[in-house]
Structure 1
Amino acid sequence: MRHSLLSKFQGTILGAVLGDSIGLQYQRQLVGILPQTEDLEPILPLTKHQQLTVSGATLALNSVNSNVPSGKDSSASGRLAVACAQSLIRCSGLDLKDWRDTWEAFAKSETYHRGSAEFESILNPCEAAVAALPAAMFFHENKAKLHEKIMLAIEVWSNENNPEWETAILAVEYAIARALKEKLDPATAIEQTIAYVKTDNALTELLLQVQILLEKGADLETAATHLCKSATALRERQGEGKKKLQTESIVNPGNFIPIALAFYCFLNTPEDLRLSVVRAARTGITGQLTCALTGALSGAYNGAAAIPVEWRQVSSAAVKSLPKAEGREPSVWEIGSDATIVELANNLFAVWAGVYRPDASLDSAALARAVAAPYVIRPRKI
């Protein structure tokens, strides 16, 4: 293999976490929110085309992507991904009872609050795709098993079976799985992904548009504009075929734009994680999710070595130097420094590989970890 599987596990999670962080930092710059400490210099300077006109709560960008979030943390999907990874590690696989308990505990916690008295149990498809990353990593080796386990896992998060919602998650997780196995060919990735999900809907149409844009060598601004217009056209077509269309429906084609942009940014520069994530951030479209998905795809493809060292240093500095308060700089999914993220990836990999005690400290007597035969040796229940 070009990169070790452990490196790819680390790269997937680190890429998603730091992509989320980069996306949030850039969004905050777009709306004029400056870092709270001098040690945290902006990672991505604004381009000359992104002139800001900040007056009170208004923001005007010289771009088609003028609807930029106000900088409020929207990394709930990342925190759910961490909780799900911990469930997989704790249960040595997908235990639906523990998975459901994890979801219910997370849903009731204060860390996931949508500003309404009643919790909404249906995740946005892009949020669900981020949250399902650990499951894709754990079941990546067999595409039939991947489909089965992902469907079981996401059923817990939704009150209704929605084919388009499921397709969005499966498309991302299949691409991640192929990258982990080093079987992802950038030239045919979209074609293989569409063949895997076996359906035609708004997402697959947007992915086909991404393929066309890549073949034509379209620049970032052109690609973002075209995908936004395509999503709008798809939504209008949906409205014509339905007498009643829910404005905030999760099948809204616009909700799939971050996934389409993530595929475009990754596949346009598949060997360069830094450039892929930077370009994803510069779209200004749902920056955290777009960058997290781009970082996960590129991290799975290129491994942890592709993660820029300065990004990890800046994110670690943000966690160590800033208190948990409203308006804080982006953290790494609220579980500590990037070293903690790497440890999480290592433990997930260890459980996948059959290590007897993945939680043993590296400096302990258990350094030479025992690898268990599947379903034969397991930790004792006390």
Structure 2
Amino acid sequence: MRYSPISRFKGTLLGAFLGESLASGGEIQFQSYPDLGRMAVLGIQSLIALGKLDLDDWTRRQQQESLYLAATDDISIKIIIAILPVALFFHENPIKLRQNLLHVLKIWEDDPVVQDGTLAVGYAISLALTEKLDPLTLIPQIISFIGETPTSIPKKLLRVQNLLEQGVGLSRAQAEFAREEKLSNTIAMAFYCFLSTLEDFRLAVLRATYNHNAKVQDATPLSSQGIGAITGALSGAYNATGGIPVNWQVLLLQRNSPAWGLTSFSQMLKLTDAFVAVWSGVYDLALNPRELTEEGCEVALLSVYAAPGVIRSR
């Protein structure tokens, strides 16, 4: 395996956070939208607490945080970021992945474009984590995973593939997909930035947030952040934390400012560690102290060993 699962999990979430936080023009000036990834954090916390996907618990947590959604493109981007925990948690099994991605979307508006965008991003992350992502076949695989649909997303993704095969530059790609403020164009542009700089996380997110084209400059800030966040998640899943510039990671740790509704960036890293532990089936003794007591007295800590592949999360 090229990268460890925890490195790819962290790469996906950290990549999304960096992608939506970087300022345009290549300057490392973080201007985060705190609520863009807040729903993703609530989803992670639910999966950690229950060890499974529970829509009632997700809905309850959102209501407690007063995260109400309206049917707009900006909200649609938030939904796609919100499904990242589901894509990570069920990435090994394409059937369960598809079922659970569609299942969690029931929390929000029943929008075919959001559904297809969710499936496209989720499946690409799944292929990256299982090290089956081939840039030459990725888009046809995604279109097959989406299935029959009335939306324009498959057509837009095929256009991305054509642009990549022609070696088209960033400006022309931006002009191609900036004609209208649509979620399908946001997703297409994110896949273009990701696939055109597959092995370079830094360049991918900088291109995603670079607003040279006049039409792109007129786009809403959150739409631009959405392209960066999706690109960052895709590239982070593929390149893992090792591909994210060290100076960016150090800057985040030094500032340690609030991230996606959490009190600090360090808290976000700890949450990801706990998330990977639950996914892998690791038993956290600290979360279950009652099981370590007998008649009010603590018993010796237990150590559990098993052959590789025996203990599974599901």
Same fold (TM over 0.5): yes
359 and 226 in structure 1: CA distance in 2 versus 1, 3 angstrom threshold: farther
Residue 166 (structure 1) aligned with residue 115 (structure 2)? yes
Q: Which residue of 2 aligns with 1:309?
A: 246
TM superposition shift of 1:140: 0.5
94 and 227 in structure 1: CA distance in 2 versus 1, 3 angstrom threshold: same
Distance 1:358 1:290 in 2: 40
Distance 2:56 2:311 in 1: 24
Q: What is the letter of the counterpart of residue 12 of structure 1?
A: T
Q: What is the letter of the counterpart of residue 215 of structure 1?
A: E
Tell me the secondary structure at the aligned position of residue 77 of structure 1: coil
Residue 149 (structure 1) aligned with residue 104 (structure 2)? no
TM superposition shift of 1:212: 0.8
TM superposition shift of 1:287: 2.4
Q: What is the letter of the counterpart of residue 191 of structure 2?
A: F
TM-score between both structures, scaled by the size of structure 1: 0.68
Residue 357 (structure 1) aligned with residue 281 (structure 2)? no
TM superposition shift of 1:319: 4.0
Q: Which residue of 2 aligns with 1:300?
A: 237
Q: Which residue of 2 aligns with 1:56?
A: none
Q: Which residue of 2 aligns with 1:291?
A: 228
Distance 1:367 1:214 in 2: 54
Tell me the secondary structure at the aligned position of residue 153 of structure 1: helix
Q: What is the letter of the counterpart of residue 97 of structure 1?
A: D
TM superposition shift of 1:226: 1.0
Compare the two structures and name the one with the higher helix fraction: 2
73 and 307 in structure 1: CA distance in 2 versus 1, 3 angstrom threshold: closer
Q: Which residue of 1 aligns with 2:59?
A: 100
Q: Which runs of 5+ in 1 are unaligned?
A: 30-41, 45-70, 113-118, 233-252, 321-330, 377-382
User: Which residues of 2 match residues 130-141 of structure 1 at below 5 A?
Assistant: 130-141=81-92
Q: Which residue of 2 aligns with 1:78?
A: 37
TM superposition shift of 1:217: 0.6
Distance 1:310 1:260 in 2: 29
310 and 374 in structure 1: CA distance in 2 versus 1, 3 angstrom threshold: closer
Distance 1:293 1:369 in 2: 38
Match of 2:200 among 265, 269, 272: 272
Distance 1:370 1:296 in 2: 34
Tell me the secondary structure at the aligned position of residue 77 of structure 2: helix
TM superposition shift of 1:317: 3.9
TM-score between both structures, scaled by the size of structure 2: 0.82
Residue 89 (structure 1) aligned with residue 48 (structure 2)? yes
Match of 1:255 among 159, 183, 189: 183
Q: Deviations over 1:187-207 (max 9, x none)?
A: 111111111001342222211
Identify which range, 71-80 or 264-273, moves more after superposition: 71-80
Task: Report if the CA contact (8 A) 1:262-1:280 is conserved.
Answer: yes
Residue 224 (structure 1) aligned with residue 179 (structure 2)? no
Task: Report if the CA contact (8 A) 1:135-1:149 is conserved.
Answer: yes
TM superposition shift of 1:313: 2.7
369 and 19 in structure 1: CA distance in 2 versus 1, 3 angstrom threshold: farther
Q: Deviations over 1:226-277 (max 9, x none)?
A: 1223xx4xxxxxxxxxxxxxxxxxxxx7122221111000100111100000
RMSD value over aligned CA atoms? 2.7
Task: Report if the CA contact (8 A) 2:9-2:276 is conserved.
Answer: yes
TM superposition shift of 1:368: 6.3
Task: Report if the CA contact (8 A) 1:21-1:315 is conserved.
Answer: no
